[in-house]
Structure 1
Amino acid sequence: MSFRNYKVPYQGEDSYSKKVAYFSMEFAVHQPLKIYSGGLGFLSGSHLRSAYELRQNLVGIGILWKYGYYDQARNQDQTLQVTWMEKQYSFLEDTGIKFQISIHDHPVWVKVLYLNPETFKSAPLFLLSTDLPENDYVSQTITHRLYDANVATKVAQFILLGVGGAKLMDEIGFMPDVYHLNEAHGISASFYLYRKFGNNLNEVKKRLVFTTHTPEEAGNEKHDIYLCHKMSYFCGLSVDEVRTLTGIHDDQFNHSLVALRFARIANGVSQLHGHVSRAMWEKYSGICPILSITNAQNWHYWADKQLYRFMEEGNDYLWDDRKRYLKKRAFEIVADQTGKVFDPNVFTIVWARRFAGYKRADLITRDIARFTALMESKNFPVQIIWAGKPYPMDYPAINDFNHLVHLSRNYRNMAVLVGYELALSKRMKQAGDLWLNNPRVPREASGTSGMTAAMNGAANFSTDDGWIPEFVNHGNNGFVIAKGDYANMNTQEQDEYDLKMLYRILEDQILPLYYSNRDTWRQVVKNGMRDVRYQFESNRMAHEYYDLLYNAE
């Protein structure tokens, strides 16, 4: 096919007619395409799937990571080993498009590959790569590893996504009405557009919208402004011109702050996160309005359709049988990896997501006496599974992972798995009776894993953060640890409070309900399945992006 004067290869309705270019560092579209690390990718993948289902006039722009994020393997003692494997993707089409961008005042060739919408039923996705023989080795490495630890390489990746993605739109003649930045990694696009529109910032602002995912100011990417300038981040503008344009007067270029000043409108990814973001940025001048569009996940991709069918038919026998089968099948992975045989009739808790300090993977184990009593209970037996990938250079998170591996040697009903990607994620949600989520409030912007857990017959049990305040009705469709007086607690006190409440609710409410009142337990899970499909399905989210962001004047 020709990629000149490109059009999305399906026609949508008028409300979705605006041309949108959607920039993201990672897309979790389907298991075979390993170009994502965690929640940001899961979110953008579901967004592309819903854009396809709704026939929206949207294309994705990402980067083809040669080694992906990393492959999670094990050392001899079962602890985490970071490995890098070159990926091959025969299903991607070579567009034949090559062009140059400037990085470090040096021309770098970019080639473009294409994920056809029909391959995985997603909106069109263009992927950029610098891994071609025309480039020197350093330039080739720009697209080797997602979120490379080297600062200069990471800045180069941001330039590639932003400047490269914006230039690609000109190369193929798509000419977006809206440039949507999913996180601020691609804000360099704004400097390319500023040049394109004759140094007219208003022309940029008319077209730029921004989604922020980070609920802490310190978590937003900042880089030395002189390094960015040296790397050609600003498309030929001097540092003084950049300062005038962005209002940044210190030496740290804050990508999110600039995105909020250059965008016409922005959004947080849950109602709570929108509130947190507005409070966080209100002391800065020139910030665009920040709405809330709560993250969601694609039902067609994630949900177990048979569970939903049996729920709608009111056939509890078949619903129970299906859930038991899903658990049994997932436990084959547990046995294969760890040599532990789990029982599908036993209450199973799953904690699985990206390992990061604030997510507190090990929280339930911190009172070891209570944890041991839980694991050895005869009245209310439990099984617990952990899975997830720490950032490969996040040594505290890796230590948490390895600590759990070592701890699991003491319990035949505790397992820690590797290889947490889309396929294992779905299996873990099917394995779980209870999806445990205990981030430190209010540090989780959204946290969407519980949505897909509910779509597979697992009840959510969470601290009251991210999307949870919009969803959980305690004891009706899930379980929530009520907020403590966190403002007057230090971190240790907050952790102790949450741990105490976690055990109280688990031991006094959840386990007795599962073992002694199965009909009510099943109804709680079904209520969660129903409510998540109604409110947290990504077609709703994709529609709201057009309605509230793209079409907003």
Structure 2
Amino acid sequence: MNFRNFQVPYQIDDRYKTKVAYFSMEFAVHQPLKIYSGGLGFLSGSHLRSAYELRQNLIGIGILWKYGYYDQTRNQDQTLQVTWMEKAYSFLEDTGIKFQILIHDAPVWVKAYYLAPETFNSAPLFLLSTDLPENDYVSQTITHRLYDANVATKIAQFILLGVGGAKLVDELGFSPDRYHLNEAHGVSAAFYLLNKFKSVDMVKQHLVFTTHTPEEAGNEKHDIYLCHKMSYFCGLSIDEIRKLTGIQDDQFNHSLAALRLAHQANGVSQLHGHVSREMWGKYEGLAPIASITNAQNWRYWSDKQLYRFMEAQDEAGFDDRKKHLKKRAFEIVADQTGKLFDPGVLTIVWSRRFAGYKRADFLTQDKARFEKLLSNTRYPVQIIWAGKPYPADYPAISQFNSLVHLSKNYKNVAVLVGYELGLSKRLKQSADIWLNNPRVPREASGTSGMTAAMNGAVNFSTDDGWIPEFIDHGHNGFVVPKADYMNMSVQQQDEYDLNKIYDILENEILPLYYDRYETWRQIIQNGMRDVRFQFDSNRMAHEYYEILYK
């Protein structure tokens, strides 16, 4: 295949003719391609699948991580061990394209690999690697680990995605109408484009930006002098960069630069769009921030059998299928932990990235109520935790490990490792309750509950991210009613949320599941119906063309 005058290799739907290059640090397209860490990758993976289903004129640009994010294994005492295993992918095609970019004022060789659409049913995806014999060892390590903890390596990764990605697009001869930055990691592409177009207006015309971070502190900032020294700004002086981005202090804020250099931006839920407009409101000259709520690919994630039984109104078949899904997932629990879970027992699952604001161990913070919940013989429960902490986030790792130690005291509590696409799907199938309890309003979108609903799990969440657009309490899920969080301390907020979660669990969810299963089944099915179209990524990919790429 000739990659020099690249065109998307299938018939494009006329509604989606605009050419788009979509830049993301991670893509979770399918389990065998381990180049993702969490929600951002799950989103971009679903986006590529929907772009393929809708026949959109879009290509993905990412990085081929030699060791992925990391492999989550266990120490002898079952606690978390971070291991780095080299990955090999025979299904990726060598494009034969090799070029150089400047990093730290020195040329670094970059090679491009290709994931063809028919491999996993996704839009064409190009992945960059510096792990080449032509490079010195330090340059080779740029594409070793996703989100490397070393600051200079991380900046080099940002340059590779932005500058390297934009240069690759030129090498392909693709000439996109829009360069879409999924998060600000690739904003160095703007400086490459400025050298190319010689016009700030032309850069803005081509650039669009999706922000995923609902608080200013969470947006990546790096020393502007270090960025400059590392060739981040493609030869522009610091004074020129200050003039161009309006950033006057010594910390270069990648998101702020992206918002100033794009002509249109979006948040990833209605609430997040609102929070973002408020958060960035004090700055001038920013792109307008619309809302395009995240979604997940229904065709990839949903259990089709469950949907068939539901549509046929075959209730016995539906219940049997859900029980089968639980039983199959519980084999993984047994294999990893030696615990035999019962498919007839209400199962609560908390599974996602471990981060402080997501409050993984929230249920355990009221010891008396936790104990009572786990020892209730009339309404028994089982709880599963899983998720990957960032490998250098020691508080999150210690939270994970303390849950492992806690689980050793209970037959009905399990903590699993290896939380990637495959396990994620199985755990969603195993869940009766998909528990999500971030501190409001810190979750931009939090899409895991969408795919849980597609597999017959009922969402139970604090009212954050996409949840206000979805949950109708007691009809298709359960939600903690919002309090006046702005006037509460963190401790008061945690106390309020935890009490409400236990009240709803004890007084509504457990009695419904055990005493009124017909109603429970109805709630599952309402959730499955409501998530089907509104939160399928085909709707989202269509909205990106309507709102962001226009």
- Fold conserved between structures, TM > 0.5: yes
Q: What amino acid maps onto 2:128 in structure 1?
A: L
Partner secondary structure for residue 439 of structure 1: coil
| TM-score, normalization by structure 1 | 0.99
Aligned residue for 1:239? 238
Partner secondary structure for residue 99 of structure 2: strand
Partner secondary structure for residue 72 of structure 1: strand
Aligned residue for 1:329? 328
Q: What amino acid maps onto 1:142 in structure 2?
A: I
Query: Structure 1 CA distance, aligned partners of 2:210 and 2:254?
Result: 12
1:123-176, Cα deviation, whole Å (9 max, x unpaired):
000000000000000000000000000000000000000000000010010000
Aligned residue for 2:342? 343
Query: How many pairs align?
Result: 550
Alignment of 1:323-472 (within 5 A): 323-472=322-471
1:178 aligns with 2:178: yes
Query: Structure 1 CA distance, aligned partners of 2:13 and 2:303?
Result: 29
Alignment of 1:105-254 (within 5 A): 105-198=105-198, 200-254=199-253
Aligned residue for 1:8? 8
Alignment of 1:276-355 (within 5 A): 276-355=275-354
1:493-529, Cα deviation, whole Å (9 max, x unpaired):
1111100000000000000000000000000000000
Task: Give unmatched runs, 5+ long, in structure 2.
Answer: none
Shift of 1:201: 0.4
Query: Structure 1 CA distance, aligned partners of 2:234 and 2:360?
Result: 42
Aligned residue for 2:57? 57
Query: Structure 2 CA distance, aligned partners of 1:77 and 1:137?
Result: 35
Shift of 1:414: 0.1
Task: Give unmatched runs, 5+ long, in structure 1.
Answer: none
Shift of 1:484: 1.2
Partner secondary structure for residue 424 of structure 2: helix
1:104 aligns with 2:104: yes
Aligned residue for 1:31? 31
Query: Structure 1 CA distance, aligned partners of 2:286 and 2:193?
Result: 19
Partner secondary structure for residue 189 of structure 1: helix
Query: Structure 1 CA distance, aligned partners of 2:111 and 2:177?
Result: 24
Q: What amino acid maps onto 2:162 in structure 1?
A: G
Aligned residue for 1:82? 82
Query: Structure 2 CA distance, aligned partners of 1:182 and 1:487?
Result: 29
1:13-56, Cα deviation, whole Å (9 max, x unpaired):
22100110000000000000000000000000000000000000
Query: Structure 1 CA distance, aligned partners of 2:468 and 2:137?
Result: 48
Runs of 4+ in 1 over 6 A off after TM superposition: none
Query: Structure 1 CA distance, aligned partners of 2:483 and 2:319?
Result: 36
Aligned residue for 1:545? 544
| TM-score, normalization by structure 2 | 1.00
Partner secondary structure for residue 111 of structure 1: strand
Partner secondary structure for residue 206 of structure 1: helix
1:225-251, Cα deviation, whole Å (9 max, x unpaired):
000000000000111111111111110
Aligned residue for 1:505? 504
Q: What amino acid maps onto 2:68 in structure 1?
A: G
Q: What amino acid maps onto 2:477 in structure 1?
A: G
Q: What amino acid maps onto 1:451 in structure 2?
A: M
Query: Structure 1 CA distance, aligned partners of 2:367 and 2:327?
Result: 28
1:72-122, Cα deviation, whole Å (9 max, x unpaired):
000010000000000000000000100000000000000000000000000
Q: What amino acid maps onto 1:248 in structure 2?
A: I
Q: What amino acid maps onto 2:176 in structure 1?
A: P
Q: What amino acid maps onto 1:501 in structure 2?
A: K
1:193-234, Cα deviation, whole Å (9 max, x unpaired):
000012x10000001000000000000000000000000000
Partner secondary structure for residue 427 of structure 1: helix
Shift of 1:534: 2.1
Aligned residue for 1:266? 265
Query: Structure 1 CA distance, aligned partners of 2:234 and 2:324?
Result: 56
Q: What amino acid maps onto 1:484 in structure 2?
A: A
Shift of 1:7: 0.1
Query: Structure 1 CA distance, aligned partners of 2:491 and 2:398?
Result: 19
Q: What amino acid maps onto 1:256 in structure 2?
A: S
